[in-house]
Amino acid sequence: MMSLILFIHQDSSKKGINLVNVINQNFNRIKLQTFHTFNAFKARLKKNSDFIDNEIFILLSESRTRLNQLTSLIDLLESKRTILILPDESKETLSKASQFSPRFFTPVSETYTDLCDVLDKMINQEKKRSIKIIKPSSDFFNLLP
């Protein structure tokens, strides 16, 4: 089952509440975990999961300070599907964001329409991959009694 794992720092107030509301409205059938502190989020990243392909990490960096703090987690995010929400679209911010090798990044928004579109595509792509029917080879039938 698909999981969305959000990092929304406890100090991000209205911006964080808005993001959670948008995710809940658009993806209410998807398991959602939200982390509000670096230590809790870091512990979750260190926890090995058997379902890495079924997890999408969404990181809200509502300020450049927060983005700088999140860079300390880049190594733990390396093999994970990550979406970054950025404080602005300056060259400095975009350069820092590229270090995460995210699947997608977008600036803080009221509606997150682009984020929802991308998440929808990622979730549907995962569903298609998980329901592929494996056709047995012709050798399989020769082995039957």
Which residues of the chain fall below pLDDT 50? Answer: none
Q: Per-residue b/e over 75-93, b at no fewer than 16 CB within 10 Å?
A: eebeebbbbbbbbeeeeeb
Give pLDDT, residue 86.
97
What is the C-alpha to C-alpha distance for residues 33 and 119, in angstroms, rounded to an integer? 15
What angle (nearest 5°) sits at the alpha carbon of residue 23, between those of residues 111 and 100? 90
Q: Which two tokens stand for residue 37?
A: 């502190």
Q: Which domains does the chain have, with CATH numbers?
A: 3-115+124-143 (3.40.50.2300)
Give pLDDT, residue 126.
75
Q: Which two tokens stand for residue 137?
A: 């080879």
Nearest to 99 by CA among 113, 86, 117: 86
